[in-house]
Amino acid sequence: MSHVVVTGAGGFIGAALVNRLLGDGVAGTPVKTLVAVDLQLDALPADPRIVRVPGSIADPALLQRLGEQPLDVVFHLASVPGGAAERNPTLGRSVNLDATANWLQWLGSHAQCPRFVYASSIAVYGESLGAVVDDDTPPAPSLSYGAHKWIGEILVADATRRGWVHGCSLRLPGIVARPGPSQGLISSFMSEVFWALAEGRSVTLPVRPEGTAWWLSARACVDNLLRAAAFDAVRLGPGRSCLMPAQWLSIQSVVDALAQRFGESRRTLVTYAPDEQVQRLFASFPPLHTPKANALGLRHDGSAAGLVSAALGAIQ
């Protein structure tokens, strides 16, 4: 039986991960206790295995509340997203960077050396992406969020070297389809187009239709996070990090797949009003090659139609 911690457990990806852990466990091992940490945990199911720890991961007192609970796997997802971190750099640093360092040191003090899966981001690459992005592309973050994530990867690798954790970092692409308000995400349009066309609402996209991005459903993302908790992270090399596979798709091709699913008339609901900063940061991506992740069994959704199906689930 596994003892698992999920930070950011009340968020879009975190809640999906919690549900999968409760159902499937980790690498075939059932979950005995799941410590869920986040500011809000209302989205989680009523399950006696969940230990709810509401609060900010940046609060030192929160770690004390966790006590001496045995830990087998930690999924560290909590963060302040890019737009919010730019507006409030103090908050961004305290949550994205300082809290990550504090958690790793706290885990080291308990001498349990759990698996530690860190949700990094493609934001580590910044704006100057070149003709292709692959395992050898060097980080060059252009936002504080990307800088925090890159430093977080280094901290995870160093904590692994010290024997505090068995760590790995996965660089997440745009994950869809996130419901509700944008919550500080500059890339929120990537999810909004899914819900708008599924519900028959008009939507204005801040990018050009030919703009390209990297896309992955929350379902496939959770699959990959769970695989990362089971594979031999030594195969990632000393940096202990890799890109999570994603599809390289134009905005138009995603709209095409949504129109195919919900009807051709939905195309008329989409208008484009490009914002040059958003276009540069989130719709000017080159092809993506992820041989390291592929060799470890990480996968994307396979096609634009597969992306739509996985991202929207049972919506007809």
- The catalytic residues are 145
The Cα 211–Cα 216 span in angstroms is 16
The residue length of the chain stands at: 316
Residue 219 token pair: 């379902």
The answer to whether 44 touches 13, Cβ cutoff 8 Å, is: no
Nearest C-alpha neighbor of 285 from the set 119, 123, 151: 123
List Cα–Cα distances, 208 to 83, 145, 161, 270, in angstroms.
Answer: 20, 24, 44, 11
| Cβ-defined contacts of 125-133 (< 8 Å, 24+) | 127/280, 127/281, 127/284, 129/284, 129/285, 129/286, 130/286, 131/286, 131/287, 132/286, 132/287, 132/288, 132/289, 133/243, 133/285, 133/286, 133/287, 133/288, 133/289
